[in-house]
Amino acid sequence: MSTVVDDELWSAIGDPIRRTMIDLLLADGPGTATSLSRRLPVTRQAVSKHLAVLDRVGLISAEPAGRERVFQVDEAQLARAVAQLSAVGATWDARLRRIKRIAETIERNRRAKEGE
């Protein structure tokens, strides 16, 4: 059972500031680097760099609006990320169930030997 994971996508999502930016864009709708920087503990320049990372992996898209760009979450790409995470979770759940069964077998065998 193998799950294909987009490492670049998950590297982008792995940063807490970028996750907060995604949350803000989902909650409040489209925003600019300036509007996001007002709500984050980083400079506008840092916000712009984080937005570039999210844009590169396709989690957000941008439209020009005067001197700024308006960013919004690409919900199809976000759904793809959620599907990947669900698949990884299911894989790990199966692994953990197997480990539990092995551990229970070892424990039963140990108890049986002690009871001899």
Range of the domain at 94: 7-115
In a domain, 84, yes or no: yes
Joined tokens for residue 36: 């996001």
- What does the pLDDT average to over 79-104? 90
The two beta strands, 60-65 and 68-73, are antiparallel
75 within some domain:
yes
Domain membership of residue 1 (yes or no) is no
Q: What is the CATH number of the domain that holds 37?
A: 1.10.10.10
Task: Kindly state whether residue 87 falls inside one of the protein's structural domains.
Answer: yes
- The total number of structural domains in the chain stands at 1
% of residues, the chain, pLDDT over 70? 95
Of residues 80 and 49, more confidence is placed in 49
Is the pLDDT score of 114 beyond 90? no
> What one-letter code names the amino acid at 85?
L
Residue 116 has pLDDT above 70, yes or no: no
Q: Does any domain span residue 2?
A: no
